[in-house]
Amino acid sequence: MNKNDIYVIYGSNGKETVKNLLKTIKIENELNKDMLIGLKPNLVVAKVPESGATTSTDMICGIIEYLKDFGFNNIVILESSWIGESTKKAFKVCGYDKISKKYNVSLFDNKEDSFHIYNVDDFSVSICDKPMSLNYLINLPVLKGHCQTRITCALKNMKGCIPDKEKRRFHSLGLHKPIAYLNKILKPSLHIVDGLIGDLDFEEGGNPVEMNRIIAGKDPVLIDSYAAELMGYNPYDIEYIKIAESIGVGSAVLQKANIIELNSDDIAQTHFTNPGRKVQHLSKWVVENNSCSACYGSLIHALGRLDEQGLLKYLEKRIYIGQGFKEKEIDGIGIGMCTRNFTHSVNGCPPKAKDILNFLMQQLKR
């Protein structure tokens, strides 16, 4: 796997989807049985993955089963929930205590760890000792929004590897620079992004959007740049992406990325019983007929960005999406290849939220 590779696989079953991904990238070729392998999920709060806040337990199980099938048994799941939240409670609520017993893997609370201070250029960062001692660290962030940094994905997920006191300092410094420099020091071997269900714009969950995809890569800056576009942002709108690129953590130039989609998005959209008020609000602008989840999720993210700019109210017509509109000729706005015969349509299967947003902005100028 090369550093400029980004692998994308679509699916609703987290366990089987991630196993199929791992079969392709063959991480077993990078491991030996003496290695201590760390899995770093996002358990920022004690909420189930269906809330859009935390890493899929099904995906974690799939990774563990894949590793154990090759005889890699020295595995630890490590995390530190946000300030004021108990990591142990998050482990229990999210089902990681059961995973630990079922697969005989240990759980480690970084809040209880010792730490050392590391210096890069003129910047110092305190990092817990356990993550620094690992032979192979797999970063398992959730693709979701964030109230301060707009998105949280690969780079920001490493914040769960620092002491709570350092988290407070990060916030006092504005998050972006510290996040970038943390990743200059602590370098995961692989990033596997849970894009199955993520929150629209808040790291604590509550507005879950089903995207049904898992993304993998080596370069966290490239991964986050790709994630930013999926959520409707220009990568350089995210300050920590710019800083991380400038200090050599990775590249934000998606034009040079080798994006490999392992299958097509044909997973039917599932409507949540409690999708959150914001998603319910945004869905009022949508006419949906058998849409695929990744495509629908991209549209919801684009509408969210439009709403943030105060422009959604000017959208006079509802937007069509879904396989039910294939081959139909309709005078209106359609999303994805299934609506290619519409008078106005966004190409892609699925299109990125950024492309949908740009298209809708052009429509508003007409």
Q: CATH number, domain at 53?
A: 3.40.50.11440
Bridge partners (DSSP) of residue 109 are: 79
* Residue-level pLDDT at 268: 46
Domain identity same for 301 and 182: no
Domain identity same for 130 and 50: yes
Among 228, 261, 294, where does a domain finish? 261
End-to-end CA distance of the chain: 45
Domain identity same for 323 and 206: no
Q: What is the span of the domain harbouring residue 170?
A: 5-261
Domain identity same for 211 and 295: no
Domain identity same for 245 and 317: no
Domain identity same for 102 and 211: yes
The encoded tokens of residue 43 equal 């358990």
The encoded tokens of residue 185 equal 């020091």
Among 231, 261, 291, where does a domain finish? 261
Alpha-carbon distance of 18 to 216, in angstroms, equals 10
Would you say 279 and 207 are in contact if contact means Cβ atoms under 8 Å apart?
A: yes
Closest to 208 in 3D by CA, of 337, 295, 300, 119: 300
Domain identity same for 122 and 14: yes
In a domain, 270, yes or no: no
Alpha helices in 73-175 (DSSP H): 87-93, 96-103, 129-133, 154-157, 164-172
Dihedral angle over CA of 11, 14, 16, 21, nearest 10: 70
Residue 15: strand, helix, or coil: helix
Alpha-carbon distance of 174 to 251, in angstroms, equals 22
* Residue-level pLDDT at 276: 61
Among 261, 291, 318, where does a domain finish? 261
CA 229 to chain centre: 12
Domain identity same for 91 and 184: yes
The encoded tokens of residue 244 equal 């991380």
In a domain, 227, yes or no: yes
Domain identity same for 107 and 233: yes
Alpha-carbon distance of 295 to 290, in angstroms, equals 11
The encoded tokens of residue 322 equal 């879904």
Domain identity same for 320 and 231: no
Question: Which residues have C-beta within 8 Å of that of residue 69, sequence separation ≥ 6?
Answer: none
In a domain, 268, yes or no: no
Residue 63: strand, helix, or coil: helix
* Residue-level pLDDT at 255: 96
Query: Is omega for the bond preceding 350 within 30 degrees of 0, making it cis?
Result: yes
In a domain, 30, yes or no: yes
Domain identity same for 168 and 298: no
In a domain, 325, yes or no: yes
Q: What is the CA radius of gyration of the chain?
A: 20
Residue 342, φ and ψ in degrees, nearest 5: -75, 160
pLDDT digit string (tens) for the chain, length 366 residues: 999 999 999 998 999 999 999 999 999 999 999 999 999 999 988 988 888 889 999 999 999 999 999 999 999 999 999 888 899 999 999 999 999 999 999 999 999 999 999 999 999 999 999 999 999 999 999 998 876 788 889 999 999 999 999 999 998 898 999 999 999 999 999 999 999 988 766 566 667 888 899 999 999 999 999 999 998 899 999 999 999 999 999 999 999 999 999 998 665 444 443 456 677 788 889 998 877 767 887 898 889 889 889 999 999 889 999 888 998 999 999 999 999 999 999 998 888 888 999 999 999 887
In a domain, 313, yes or no: yes
Would you say 200 and 300 are in contact if contact means Cβ atoms under 8 Å apart?
A: yes
In a domain, 40, yes or no: yes
In a domain, 269, yes or no: no
Task: Match 């108990």 to its residue by tokens.
Answer: 86
Domain identity same for 254 and 289: no
* Residue-level pLDDT at 270: 47
Please state whether beta strands 75-79 and 37-41 pair in parallel, antiparallel, or not at all (unpaired): parallel
* Number of structural domains in the chain: 2
pTM tops 0.95: no
Would you say 18 and 63 are in contact if contact means Cβ atoms under 8 Å apart?
A: yes
DSSP string across 163-212: -HHHHHHHHHTTSHHHHHHHHHHS--SEEEEEEEEEESS-TT-SSEEEEE
